Amino acid sequence: MRRILSGLLFSATLLCNNLEATAQYNRVAMNREYIISLTPQWKGERLPDGRPFVSDDLLERLKKVVLTHAWGGLKKHKFNNQYQGNWMMVNPDKNTIMTGRAVTAQYMPLRPDFGDVIRKVGLAEGHGEKALSNVWPIEMLKEGDVYVADGFAKMNEGTLIGDRLANSIYSKSKRGVVFWGSVRNLQEIQKVEGFNGWILGNHPSAINEVMLTSINAPIRIGDATVLPGDVVYASPYGTLFLPAYLVEGIVLEAEISNLRHVYGIMRNKAGDWTTGQIDSDYTPQMNKEFHDYLRGLPDSKLPMPRKELNAYLEAKK
């Protein structure tokens, strides 16, 4: 019995030693399989890196959606932690709404030993040897991407980009950034045509004592959890991060809600419905009148394809 127990203990020790020998930190940018495993509910097309590919058409339609309607759609599906407000916008005067597919990045305070491991792994993945690691996510951007980064709210020496990198981001993605952190040289960043950003602040210092720890892994942006491939909705009124598989339904419901809002005000001004009626749930008769109104709208007045509207109305019968 003793010999059996000793043998088992010896085997267990060898197994543990073997696991320790093979386990290693081997990814900075997450691979396709990992990203797919994070987003199994998405059944549509994917980008080469594995992120869900929400169509450009839906991204454009989302720009016209009122934030509270999109937020309500998320709440309906029990996604209660996808909003973050209180941003500083790079170009607040442009009243921009930006939508796109999230590329996520996580930054942490520099720890030299871990930083050395990250650099070694990142170089093996093909990231630029001469570039600092804050350039690596930018190298991966494609048109339609929004660079979303957790810079752990560091202001002084936490500046994730300056104007040169802002130019590069826009040239690759035709979008901007959402940073839980800061930028430098805001005066020049504001001159980058088409670029906008949602940031915590700006500082004249260069980035220092900061290390990139992951690209396209889950991150936290303030009160929100963000996955790679989430659809970003960034507006002067705050940001939302929508799970890709919910976007189509949320956009359609939001478009219907906005049409309902406009229709209710129209009927109220005409004296047909009271304020109390339009500010509460519609009665069956009110819904019928609203749906008849939708059927009669010309295609040019619809925010959604006629086919989607017809399917929605058929489901509501």
Query: What's CA 30's distance to the chain center, in Å?
Result: 16
Rounded to the nearest 5°, which phi and psi values hold at 24? Answer: -160, 155
Instruction: Report helix, strand or coil for 25.
Output: coil
165 marked among binding-site residues: yes
Helix 247-269 × helix 56-63 angle, to 10°: 30
CA atoms of 109 and 154, how far apart (whole Å): 9
164 marked among binding-site residues: yes
Give all strands (DSSP E) within the chain, no chain letters: 83-84, 88-89, 98-109, 145-150, 177-180, 182-183, 197-199, 201-202, 210-215, 219-221, 224-226, 231-235, 238-242
163 marked among binding-site residues: yes
Token representation of residue 26: 């081997």
**Other CB atoms closer than 10 Å to residue 36's CB: what's the count?**
16
* One-letter amino acid of 79: F
Q: Do 73 and 198 form a contact (C-beta atoms < 8 A)?
A: no
**CB within 8 Å of 287: residues ≥ 6 apart:** 316
Instruction: Report helix, strand or coil for 109.
Output: strand
Query: What's CA 95's distance to the chain center, in Å?
Result: 19
Q: Do 246 and 240 form a contact (C-beta atoms < 8 A)?
A: no
Q: Do 228 and 217 form a contact (C-beta atoms < 8 A)?
A: yes
Q: Which residues are annotated as a binding site for substrate?
A: 162-165, 184
Q: Which residues are annotated as a binding site?
A: 162-165, 184
